[in-house]
Structure 1
Amino acid sequence: MFPRHDHREQTIIAPAICAGVGVHTGQRVRLAIRPAAAGTGIVFVRTDISDRDNRIRVSGEAVVDARLNTMIENDAGVRLSTIEHLMAAFCALGVSNAVVEVDGPELPILDGSALPFVQLLDRAGFRRQPNPIRYIEILEPIRVTDGDKHAALLPCDRYEMRFEIDFDAAVIGNQVIDFVVDEDTFRNEIMAARTFGFAHEVQALRQAGLARGGSLENAVVIDQGAILNPGGLRMEREFVRHKALDAIGDLYVLGAPLLGRYEGYKAGHAVNNLLVRALLAAPHAWREVTRTPELAQAV
């Protein structure tokens, strides 16, 4: 399923550094991804904060706001938002352990996809670690609903995903994608899909003090049924592919890849986090396993 790391934990070889603007704050931030010891997990550090604990370990419980993006917070009240694209890259490339330093309240949006993060990690290189990877094996179905939006996790012997969106705008319409979540598929079909929005929604967000860093450089923008970006779309069904990208990142806050099938309909960050919390509240519906080519062992 994840051939690069042979079912062992993985970190990066060298630090990976970039800078950009936060899509909501418009604030320029510097990000540094650093290697971490086996068993560390994914830890974010707000380097601009020094008067209290500035480390935020990613977990399902750490997510405190998922209305517009995935925001995490530690016990000291330190927050960080828009982690989902980097988390999706970590998941698909098999990065189990990393420390991510950022000197602002939000990760840079870069081009609105996971592609720049994948390029950054590729340049840093990957190092296998001795610990076997922990997987979250889904044993019983978990379902959540929010109005006409819903999502589910179902038993499956590999990580699969089906996502469906349905918009009135003809340029989007109804789109479905169904795939195995592995590195090759992520690189070829998912990672370059950009976030998207409607021009009137962007204007409303800016009036509310959000989307200050949003532009045609980092999002697909739709206005009156037309795509405003000069180059158009990058790929067929880019909209639903990006929603799947978000879901991969949102689910990786669980701290381990899944052995299960995710199915989402119109689901966004909020519904995905409801699903994460529903899973954590149902310990009978899942178990942690380590995976070898021959068998899965409960841990």
Structure 2
Amino acid sequence: MREQTIASPIEFTGIGLHTGEHATVRILPAPAGKGIIFRRVDLDNFELRADPASVARVAYATTLMNRGVWISTVEHLLSALYGVGVDNAYIELDNFEVPILDGSALPYTEAIARAGVVRQSRRRKYMRIVKEFVLKEGGKTLGIHPSETFSVKYDIDFPHPLIGKQSIEVEFTGTHYADSIAPARTFGFYHEVEKLQAGGLIRGGSLENAIVLTPSGMLNGTELRFPDEFVRHKTLDLLGDFALIGQPVLGRLVAHRAGHALHTRFVGELLESSSHWVLDAAREAVAAVYDRRGRS
């Protein structure tokens, strides 16, 4: 399998979830071996690589920084690129927060499907896990285990009637991400809105870009996209943070009540723990998604 980039540019304009400010994001083809590079076009095309060393803040979103230049709420876009197998891209942004769009990664995956992807000259290198690596933080756990494919198992537990205990396991290399993970929207609790806004967060949040939960249900006038949309969105976020690893992985990723802080810490420490993985060329695996009852 060779590295891939998008075939033609993609552009979106929208508001930032936390800043409420308008921004335009453009995704452009990049050469083989380049990785994912952000460019702040409002700051003389300042470039910032999507990698663990750039992570600066993880409060309700993942924020990257280099030399005082910020790029915030990157996880949905990075998740989409990683989920559909785009290895190399330039991401141009004219403000410091990526627009939230509808709160999911679906607009990105649909646009990538329309634009197409192209294979490049460089052969893909996979990080193959050879020894399990696990981090625990309070009641949260994130680990990765040897496997011939890449899969994610995520469990969450919220004391809310629409959520409760949810679990999903996804094994994939491409096609299932767009159908099963990308449409899942971000969510939050109505009773936290005032406090978060006072802290400078979710100023662009609305029923158009998030599921807003009340004590007994949700404010949105639409139905959930999946009965377990919440754990699917957590999986989406995990993949966005895991994309900072910079290459495809062969391993079984298992998360329990994790979040951005643990996700990004995990990626950084895994990269430093080189006895747990090797770089390898590898074959494609067949994508499949399973719910907690094991049905495909």
Matched, 1:247 2:238: yes
- After superposing on structure 2, the runs of 4+ consecutive aligned residues of structure 1 that deviate more than 6 Å are none
Q: Structure 1: 5+ residue runs without aligned partners?
A: 1-6, 295-299
TM-score with structure 2 setting the length = 0.93
C-alpha offsets along residues 238-265 of structure 1, whole Å, 9 cap, x if unaligned? 0000000111111011101110011001
What SS does the aligned partner of 1:206 have?
helix
Mapped to 2, the partners of 1:139 and 1:41 lie a distance apart of: 24
Percentage identity across paired residues of the two chains: 40
Give the number of aligned pairs.
285
Name the structure 2 match of 1:225: 216
Amino acid at match of 2:25: L
Matched, 1:273 2:267: no
Name the structure 1 match of 2:28: 34
Deviation at 1:159, TM superposition (A): 0.3
- Pick from 107, 112, 121 the counterpart of residue 103 of structure 2: 112
Q: Structure 2: 5+ residue runs without aligned partners?
A: 286-296
C-alpha offsets along residues 68-127 of structure 1, whole Å, 9 cap, x if unaligned? 1111112x2211011111111111211111000000111000000000011121222211
C-alpha offsets along residues 240-299 of structure 1, whole Å, 9 cap, x if unaligned? 0000011111101110111001100111111111211220221111121122469xxxxx
Mapped to 2, the partners of 1:179 and 1:116 lie a distance apart of: 21
Q: Is the 8 A contact 1:144 1:278 kept in 2?
A: no
Name the structure 2 match of 1:68: 60
C-alpha offsets along residues 163-203 of structure 1, whole Å, 9 cap, x if unaligned? 00001112210000012033222122111000001011222
Name the structure 2 match of 1:148: 139
Mapped to 2, the partners of 1:293 and 1:45 lie a distance apart of: 31
Point out the more displaced range, 171-180 or 133-142: 133-142
Mapped to 2, the partners of 1:257 and 1:65 lie a distance apart of: 24
Name the structure 2 match of 1:288: 279
Mapped to 2, the partners of 1:198 and 1:57 lie a distance apart of: 32
Name the structure 2 match of 1:175: 166
Q: Is the 8 A contact 1:142 1:278 kept in 2?
A: no
- Pick from 249, 259, 275 the counterpart of residue 250 of structure 2: 259
What SS does the aligned partner of 2:281 have?
strand
Name the structure 1 match of 2:14: 20
Name the structure 1 match of 2:76: 85
RMSD (Å), alpha carbons: 1.4
Deviation at 1:47, TM superposition (A): 1.0
Q: Is the 8 A contact 1:73 1:80 kept in 2?
A: yes
